[in-house]
Structure 1
Amino acid sequence: MARAPLSESDLVVFGDAAAGHDGVLSDASGSVVVKPCTATEIAFYESAAMHPAFAAYMPTYMGTLKLSSSGTVDETATAAAAAAASQPAGSATASGTASALSPDDPGPLRGKKLETGLSIVLENIASPFKKPNILDVKLGAQLWDDSASLQKRERLDKVAAETTSKSLGFRMAGMKVWQGAGEQKDPLVDATGYRVYNKFYGRKFSADSVIEGFREFLFVPAAGIDDDLGRTMVNILLKQVEGIQKVLEAEEIRMYSASILFVYEGDGEALRRALEEEKSRTSGTAQPDEGDRGGDDDEGEGDVAKAYAVKLIDFAHATWTPGLGSDENALQGVRSTAKILGDLARM
């Protein structure tokens, strides 16, 4: 039976975004993301079932929603979306980690809202974490597709030329890092204990210095993530990026302005516990494959602590391109990210 149409009041501003466009919403539990999208992005998600290795690195697609002119939501989402929305999301809900910056601090600056009237419903990758640390790495030296206007091409080419997008094929598009439960003197730390880095943060780096941004993301002593634990996470995330690289090298695809989304548990104590639980689950068995989400619930097991998740996101300009070979534009950024993580692991 179809669920009754949702009122706009049932949706809240999504608080776990580190980058992207404005206008992203969530259900009150924080377990799903409702993101303005294009028909191209919906078609890409719906066709991904034919590419299971790639789909393993995508957020779970649950359907679509259309905001009506009366301010309600006409629901066309799948039953899975309804079921997910009714489940508790754990302690890291959208409202629980929403940025609460002072009025004179604009917080993360994102792109303008997409005025399509259509939204895609996806799992919230950050929902199961106690204190999710989030990094959005935008892929590609070329950030526009063939449908882009000349003005847009020139604007995005300028951004690429002035950032690591041109030299490395990626840039850090946004980041939020929990700074611990102690009293914060840093004015850039919000009321929830997060330091939020807007889209201009990653633009300051050169190819030689961008490793410092990854260091700031992965080593947070004040939150209990010391050198040993940070290095453990570097190696785990490196393995995930190498898995993405392997999949992209095997697929014939073009995706512009897509991102790798890194999420890991930002509370050091909770992170250690999650990693220990994962080690116990995999003891004596094969290690988690590429695409593993760092401790997803297995059917019948109940709640399982989660340590990390690495996903490809943002497919508004993505298409399958049979016969054209792999996407070297995106792969440049993936390989550069892997190299930097490898360099960081050896430091």
Structure 2
Amino acid sequence: MSLTPVGDRTPLGARTPITESELIVFGDAAAGHDGVLSDSSGSVVVKPCTTAEIEFYESAALHPTLAGYMPSYMGTLKLSSSGTVDEAVATLGAAAASSQPVGSIATSGTASNLSPNDPGPLRGKKLETGLSIVLGNIAAPFKKPNILDVKLGAQLWDDGASLQKRERLDKVAAETTSKSLGFRIAGMKVWQGVDKQNDPSVEATGYRVYDKFYGRKFSADNVIEGFKEFLFVPTAGVGDDLGRTVAGMFLKQVEGMQKTLEALESRMYSASVLFVYEGDGEALKKALEEEESRAPGTVQPGEDDRDGEGDDGPGKAYDAKLIDFAHATWTPGQGPDENALHGVRSTAKILRDLARM
């Protein structure tokens, strides 16, 4: 049950593997489906998926610029009904092979024994495909990750959707910012600071959790308030200056995503942009100072330039990735994905406004 890297095809057993460990319930999700797992280190995400999503991740290797805006793809796992790993069929992405060697991933328990770290009503129903995709955890390098899931598109269904599903999703789009702006806030987790851990409106972990219904209350006129809630958290040491700085950094990444999608012919129905930044104000300041001290131009937007784990220096300050490709395909001859781009451009405008506040 070894993972094999793309390229030299050397079994990862010949590399430095991490030890086998239990799979636990993934605690860093801001939205999405139930049933998402992680390893005990938190460095990987094991997510129920469709074969279409696997095919899209594998084909993204032919589009390296886009792949830079996607989580590291590490392969697939097939889980038994008891929650144990029956089979590991994997190809380790080259980016992951160079930064996070991963060996065998196994679970010594059943699904009923998984650690109860699930944040609750953030997620939809579990995908019952029997197959899971293994991805790098975007939130792993952060001390206190603040996480925002922005679902893209005014049309949220693909051509294979039933009439009933189309009508249901069209209704959601019409009643939210999905129709007008091409995106909606699908969920958030925001660290509120140590002093807020006893606040009844905050989780015991010190996070305020915004479920999938939170973003549905906004209109095009006031959705910027949701982004402010995410980016400006004075109780955690993230005041106006830091919040504006992070908004500007995210803007550069979203503009890079926009440029990339405008150059490709694809369709990504119900995909999201996942935003993560360091929610601990002091840690964020240190990470941003390190960003500024590095030579300009050494890292392009979308590149995962350092692990952020296991060293004594500042961690990562921010990151944004495109995620959720269960309904993504390549569409040669049909032009760019204007449905997703509508949401990307609208998100960029809001971040631009916040960076200039």
TM-score bracket for this pair, using the shorter chain length: 0.7 to 0.9
AA aligned to 1:311 is K
Answering whether residue 357 of structure 2 is matched by residue 344 of structure 1, we say no
After TM superposition, give the deviation of residue 186 of structure 1 in Å: 3.6
Q: Residues 44-77 of structure 1, C-alpha deviation per residue, up to 9 Å, x if partnerless? A: 0000010011110000000000012454212223
After TM superposition, give the deviation of residue 78 of structure 1 in Å: 3.8
Q: Residues 199-225 of structure 1, C-alpha deviation per residue, up to 9 Å, x if partnerless? A: 000000000000000001000000000
What SS is found at the alignment partner of 1:254?
strand
2:82 and 2:219 mapped to 1: Cα distance? 48
Confirm or deny: 8 A CA contact 2:197 2:205 kept in the other structure: no
The equivalent position to 1:25 in structure 2, one of 14, 21, 37, is 37
- Structure 1 stretch 182-191 or stretch 254-263: which is displaced more? 182-191
1:287 and 1:206 mapped to 2: Cα distance? 39
After TM superposition, give the deviation of residue 303 of structure 1 in Å: 6.3
After TM superposition, give the deviation of residue 151 of structure 1 in Å: 0.4
AA aligned to 2:263 is A
After TM superposition, give the deviation of residue 257 of structure 1 in Å: 0.3
After TM superposition, give the deviation of residue 2 of structure 1 in Å: 3.3
AA aligned to 1:48 is A
- The share of aligned pairs that are identical, in percent, is 75
Which residue matches 2:300? 289
After TM superposition, give the deviation of residue 9 of structure 1 in Å: 7.7
Confirm or deny: 8 A CA contact 2:152 2:178 kept in the other structure: yes
Q: Which runs of 5+ in 1 are unaligned?
A: 88-94, 101-106
Confirm or deny: 8 A CA contact 2:286 2:314 kept in the other structure: no
Answering whether residue 159 of structure 2 is matched by residue 146 of structure 1, we say yes
1:270 and 1:16 mapped to 2: Cα distance? 18
CA separation of 1:255/1:276 partners in 2, compared to 1, >3 Å: closer, same or farther?
A: same
Q: Residues 59-98 of structure 1, C-alpha deviation per residue, up to 9 Å, x if partnerless? A: 00000000124542122234668933689xxxxxxx9994
2:207 and 2:62 mapped to 1: Cα distance? 39
Which residue matches 1:322? 332
2:274 and 2:161 mapped to 1: Cα distance? 24
2:103 and 2:230 mapped to 1: Cα distance? 30
CA separation of 1:71/1:98 partners in 2, compared to 1, >3 Å: closer, same or farther?
A: closer
AA aligned to 1:83 is P
After TM superposition, give the deviation of residue 280 of structure 1 in Å: 1.5
After TM superposition, give the deviation of residue 345 of structure 1 in Å: 2.0
Which residue matches 2:101? 83
Which residue matches 2:17? none
Answering whether residue 223 of structure 2 is matched by residue 193 of structure 1, we say no
Which residue matches 2:321? 311
CA separation of 1:302/1:220 partners in 2, compared to 1, >3 Å: closer, same or farther?
A: closer
After TM superposition, give the deviation of residue 99 of structure 1 in Å: 5.6
| Structure 1 length-normalised TM | 0.88
Confirm or deny: 8 A CA contact 1:108 1:174 kept in the other structure: no
Number of aligned residues: 327
1:21 and 1:345 mapped to 2: Cα distance? 32
What SS is found at the alignment partner of 1:84?
coil
What SS is found at the alignment partner of 2:194?
coil
Answering whether residue 55 of structure 2 is matched by residue 43 of structure 1, we say yes
Q: After the TM superposition, which residues 240-259 of structure 1 pair with which residues of structure 2 at under 5 Å, given as runs?
A: 240-259=253-272
Answering whether residue 346 of structure 2 is matched by residue 333 of structure 1, we say no
After TM superposition, give the deviation of residue 253 of structure 1 in Å: 0.4
AA aligned to 1:336 is S
2:189 and 2:83 mapped to 1: Cα distance? 31
| Structure 2 length-normalised TM | 0.85
What SS is found at the alignment partner of 1:33?
strand
Which residue matches 1:91? none
Answering whether residue 76 of structure 2 is matched by residue 64 of structure 1, we say yes
2:50 and 2:312 mapped to 1: Cα distance? 35
After TM superposition, give the deviation of residue 184 of structure 1 in Å: 3.9
Q: Residues 160-208 of structure 1, C-alpha deviation per residue, up to 9 Å, x if partnerless? A: 0000000000000000000001144542311110000000000000000
What SS is found at the alignment partner of 1:155?
helix
Q: Residues 12-45 of structure 1, C-alpha deviation per residue, up to 9 Å, x if partnerless? A: 0000000000000001111000000000000000
RMSD, aligned CA: 2.6
CA separation of 1:50/1:9 partners in 2, compared to 1, >3 Å: closer, same or farther?
A: closer
AA aligned to 2:28 is D
After TM superposition, give the deviation of residue 304 of structure 1 in Å: 5.7
